[in-house]
Amino acid sequence: MNSLEFSAWIATASLLAGFLGSLTGLGGGVVIVPLLALLFGVDIHYAIGASLVSVIATSSGAAAAYVREGFSNIRIGMFLEIATTLGAIAGAFLSAHTPTQAIAIIFGIVLLYSAGMSMRRREAAKHHPPDKLAVSLRLDGSFPENGVKTVYHVRRVPLGFGLMFGAGTLSGLLGIGSGAVKVLAMDEAMAVPFKVSTTTSNFMIGVTAAASAGIYLSKGYIDPAIAMPVTLGVLLGSVLGAKFLVRAKVRSVRLTFALVIAALGIEMIFNGITGRL
């Protein structure tokens, strides 16, 4: 396969990943690494570098779209970015010292977890009394719902902060946005309403990824010839996906994509254990 064919195939696969990722809201970034490593035989470090860059692109691209429908909380986002960026740096350093097999197995577990999370029904957060730490950090907020201002109180800030450090570490180690972990930290731990957490998480993904990108660059993970088709493909795919987005009708697409993610997860774990990557 010469460079032209290689780029064309990767761009096509990335376009599909970006399209399905944005259509289903699962994000395309998580399938890029297994796609490159398993299908195209690209070394996992190059794959991680290209994936991370594409994650930044989709985060920035989707942000403009999300702003219209969601309600982000910039204070929650910025405060938690301290944890995610520090985690991302730790993860990026770890990636250089973690054997490929171990990365593949961890990746597989994260894929299975993401697939499982996507099947979960997200319920509206219950109302909680104000929390002292959250109040002093001014994390509480509000958003309009049916014409009235709905106020929400954030809680368990240290737990959320800790989980966000973990999300950042995974992001830096695997070159993914780790939206599934970010949402867990905000929805489950901190009781942020999901209308707010989805948008805020998307805002955070780009900044988190930028923190590991600097280290990836200096370690030589970001190969322009691989990152180019991946980034352009994912970006175009996610823009198209957002245009076709009719959430009510995507349940079966979502289920299919979740199954694909789960299958890739099992494949990654299998290849990691048998040392084929």
Partner 1 sequence: MAHSVLVDGQDDSVIDRRIGVLLRTGMIVSAAVVLTGGVLFLARSGRQVPDYHVFHGVPENLKSIPQIVAGAFHGDPLAIIQFGLLLLIATPVSRVLFSVVAFALERDFLYVAISCIVFCVLMYSILFH
What SS3 class is residue 260?
Answer: helix
Cβ proximity of 125 and 150 under 8 Å: no
**Cα separation of 181 and 179, whole Å?**
5
- CB 183 → partner 1: shortest distance, Å? 17
Q: What is the three-class DSSP state of 27? A: coil
Nearer to partner 1, 95 or 262 (CB): 95
**Nearer residue to partner 1 within complex by CB, 58 or 114:** 58
Q: Which two tokens stand for residue 62?
A: 């989707």
Min dist. Cβ of residue 258 to partner 1 (A):
27
> CB-wise, 66 or 257, nearer to partner 1?
66
Q: Which is nearer to partner 1, 117 or 137 (CB)?
A: 137
The tokens of 110 are what? 């994260």
Instruction: Name the minimum Å distance from CB 260 to partner 1.
Output: 23
- In this structure, is the dihedral angle defined by the CA atoms of residues 159, 77, 19 and 217, taken in order, positive or negative? negative
The token pair at 93 is 């350093």
Return all residues near 248 (Cβ < 8 A) that are at least 6 apart: none
In the complex, minimum distance from the CB of residue 118 to partner 1, in angstroms, rounded to a whole number: 22
CB of 135 to partner 1, least distance (A): 12
- Closer residue to partner 1 (CB): 53 or 184: 53
Question: Contact 85/211 with Cβ under 8 angstroms?
Answer: yes
